[in-house]
Amino acid sequence: MIFPVPKPRAKRKKVAPTGRPRTRLKNRNARRKGRAFGASHVDEAYLDWIRTLPCAPHLAMGLEQRTTTEAEHFVSKAHGGYDRGDTYPGCGECREMRHGTMGPKAFTRMLKARGFDERALCKKLVVIYESEKFPCP
């Protein structure tokens, strides 16, 4: 048997201890500049410097580079990567291979098997960049 139950009273709007009503996250947050990650630490000068270099995987394997160099994030911004320290020069072809046909893990494994360490290169590039831009007095 079903017992008739009175309709529950409307819940009061939840209010945070600060007095502000708790609401859903906005689609665009001006402080985040519309992005969840990375907007506050874009190092455009470093990325421009990276783009002046030849494609690292192509150079390491002795192949001819056919597309322009782009800044490739070894650790993506969504995974907490930075521009300075997690980026190396890669061409459009390598990017297509890394993100399209192979996937980043397989691409890294393929390069490792050929004796090319992306992570080490990222770290080395920062040292070169900083010694170029900020030489010791």
Name residues whose C-beta falls within 8 Å of residue 34's C-beta, 6 or more positions apart in sequence: 28
Q: Is residue 71 at the binding interface for Zn ion, with CB under 5 A as the rule? A: no
Instruction: Determine if 94 is a binding residue for Zn ion (CB under 5 A).
Output: yes
Under rule CB under 5 A, residue 91 binds Zn ion? yes
> Do 89 and 47 form a contact (C-beta atoms < 8 A)?
no
Write the burial class of residue 101 (CB in 10 Å: 0-12 exposed, 13-18 middle, 19+ buried): exposed
Least distance (Å) between residue 94 CB and Zn ion: 3
Is residue 50 a contact residue for Zn ion (CB under 5 A)?
no
User: Is residue 58 near Zn ion by the rule CB under 5 A?
Assistant: yes
Binders of Zn ion: how many residues, by CB under 5 A? 5
The reply to whether 98 sits near Zn ion by the rule CB under 5 A is: no
- Calculate the alpha carbon distances from 36 to 26, 28, 39, 77, 84 in Å: 11, 9, 8, 10, 19
Between 29 and 48, how does the x/- string for binding to Zn ion read (CB under 5 A)?
--------------------
- Judged by the rule CB under 5 A, the positions of this chain that interact with Zn ion are 55, 57-58, 91, 94
